[in-house]
């Protein structure tokens, strides 16, 4: 009977043992599918505890080694077993003690089994049943994160569902209305979900955002900038600026196509290709002076005969590719700001009054500060 029982447990749980990490949730799900076992796992000591109260006349917990698949010990928890009517739950506490809750026709039993020096064959039992006085139909034994043990039950006097929190260290008991606990948990879940949605929305806005700012670079352009990023990972950047007065005009425009290579909540790494145009023109006055012959050459007399306006124009075209990084630390991102640094390599062509043609190849960094609009 015992060999068949252990074989059944490991045969049904083989897909779980074959994995590197076996979670308690997976084992408990398997136990629910069996409908007759309750399981607890001690990852630290590579041990699994199997409750078989429905299959034997005495409520027992089998301690089985995961690696060898051999039973280490068999712990008898109660002799008050009515076949088919007695339920037993087991839970491994944060303190390493194995807690078991047995509910049958008699008084509920809650106790802890403590291994001596890690040896479950030499164990002690600590009874906590008296802490459940006045509590009917206890169930859902759980080990809480603060070290306490919790049980759901019905308060005998008020007939209200309650959550019983037991501190094994000082044997203190705290009883809370179950509906308030569930409301608090639901509120906490909603708050976490809302925070997660906000984080996701911020991340989405950041990934698909559009914004305005300032840019300075030969390829990116010099002046006001507009940037648009799409969820597909593509984006574009346009910058333009200029200056004009009565005698000169300076203007430029740059456009870049962006492709995101990798990104996190704070950093975006991307490739870029773009072109820019820098245009400059100026108008100036040229004076003609009268000359007179002197010693076989003409000498200026200092008398101005006439004046005229002349102008010069130059255009510079840049074409390049490169890499960029956009950084938005928490402090700036909360305000919608991000900074970019780009290092493109571009080819320059010039068209001036004195010459035109190839102007050289050069890497030149550019920086941009962008404010992304909130959606």
Contact status, residue 110 vs residue 99, Cβ threshold 8 Å: yes
Owner of token pair 């593509």:
234
Local confidence band at 316 (pLDDT 50, 70, 90 cut-offs) = very high
d(CA 368, CA 274): 15
pLDDT at residue 197, rounded to an integer? 55
pLDDT at residue 142, rounded to an integer? 85
**In the structure encoding, which two tokens stand for residue 230, read together?**
């799409």
For the stretch 111-138, pLDDT in tens is 888 877 777 767 778 888 888 888 888 8
For the stretch 227-271, pLDDT in tens is 999 888 899 999 999 988 888 899 999 999 999 999 887 889 999
Q: Around Cβ 353, how many Cβ atoms within 10 Å?
A: 10
For the stretch 142-166, pLDDT in tens is 888 888 888 888 888 888 888 888 8
Which DSSP string corresponds to 163-182? EEEEETTTTEEEEEEHHHHH
Local confidence band at 106 (pLDDT 50, 70, 90 cut-offs) = low
Owner of token pair 């995961």:
66
The torsion region of residue 154 among left (phi > 0), alpha (psi -120 to 50) and beta comes to: beta
Owner of token pair 């003609």:
288
Q: Which residue has the higher pLDDT, 85 or 215?
A: 215
Structural domains of the chain, ranges and CATH numbers in brackets = 2-196 (no CATH), 209-281+312-372 (2.40.160.20)
With H, G, I as helix, E, B as strand and everything else as coil, classify residue 28.
helix
The torsion region of residue 301 among left (phi > 0), alpha (psi -120 to 50) and beta comes to: alpha
Mean pLDDT value of segment 209-225: 91
Give the chain's length.
Answer: 375
Local confidence band at 34 (pLDDT 50, 70, 90 cut-offs) = very low
Local confidence band at 349 (pLDDT 50, 70, 90 cut-offs) = very high
User: Per-residue pLDDT for 71 more than 50?
Assistant: yes
Q: Which residue has the higher pLDDT, 84 or 215?
A: 215
CA distances from 334 to 213, 267, 324, 331, 338 (A): 16, 14, 22, 6, 10
Q: Which residue has the higher pLDDT, 332 or 344?
A: 344
Mean pLDDT value of segment 303-325: 81
Which DSSP string corresponds to 38-105? EEEEETTTTEEEEE-TTTSSSEEEEEEETTT--EEEEEEEES---TTT-EEEEEE-TTS-EEEEEESS
Mean pLDDT value of segment 68-85: 63
> In a 10 Å sphere around its CB, with 0-12 CB exposed, 13-18 middle and 19+ buried, how is residue 350 labelled?
middle
């Amino acid at each position: 009977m015992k060999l068949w029982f252990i074989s059944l447990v490991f045969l049904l749980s083989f897909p779980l043992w074959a994995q590197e990490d076996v979670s308690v949730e997976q084992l408990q799900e398997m136990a629910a599918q069996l409908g007759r076992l309750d399981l607890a796992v001690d990852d630290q000591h590579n041990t699994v505890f199997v409750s078989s109260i429905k299959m034997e006349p005495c409520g027992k917990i089998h301690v089985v080694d995961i690696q060898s698949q051999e039973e280490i010990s068999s712990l008898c928890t109660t002799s008050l077993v009515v076949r088919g009517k007695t339920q037993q739950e087991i839970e491994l506490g944060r303190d390493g003690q194995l807690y078991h809750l047995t509910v049958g026709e008699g008084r509920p039993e809650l106790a802890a089994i403590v291994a001596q020096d890690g040896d479950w064959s030499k164990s002690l039992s600590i009874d906590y049943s008296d802490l459940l006085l006045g509590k009917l139909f206890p169930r859902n034994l759980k080990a809480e994160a603060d070290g306490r043990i919790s049980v759901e039950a019905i308060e005998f006097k008020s007939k209200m569902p309650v959550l019983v929190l037991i501190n094994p260290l000082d044997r203190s008991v705290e009883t809370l209305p179950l509906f308030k606990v569930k409301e608090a948990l639901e509120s906490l879940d909603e708050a976490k979900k809302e925070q997660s949605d906000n984080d996701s929305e911020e991340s989405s806005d950041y990934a698909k955002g559009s914004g305005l700012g300032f840019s300075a670079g030969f390829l990116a352009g010099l002046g006001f900038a507009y940037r648009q990023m799409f969820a597909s990972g593509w984006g574009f950047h346009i910058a333009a600026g200029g200056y004009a007065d009565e005698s000169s005009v300076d203007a430029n425009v740059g456009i870049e196509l962006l492709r995101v290579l990798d990104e996190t909540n704070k950093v975006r790494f991307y490739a870029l290709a773009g072109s820019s145009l820098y245009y400059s023109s100026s108008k100036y006055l040229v004076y003609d002076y009268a000359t007179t012959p002197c010693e076989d050459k003409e000498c200026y007399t200092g008398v101005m005969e006439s004046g005229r306006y002349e102008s010069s124009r130059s255009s510079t075209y840049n074409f390049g590719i490169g890499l960029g990084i956009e950084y938005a630390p928490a402090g700036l991102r909360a305000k919608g700001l991000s900074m970019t640094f780009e290092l493109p390599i571009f080819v320059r062509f010039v068209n001036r009054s004195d010459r035109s043609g190839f102007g050289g190849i050069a890497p030149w960094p550019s920086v941009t500060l962008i404010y992304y609009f909130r959606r």
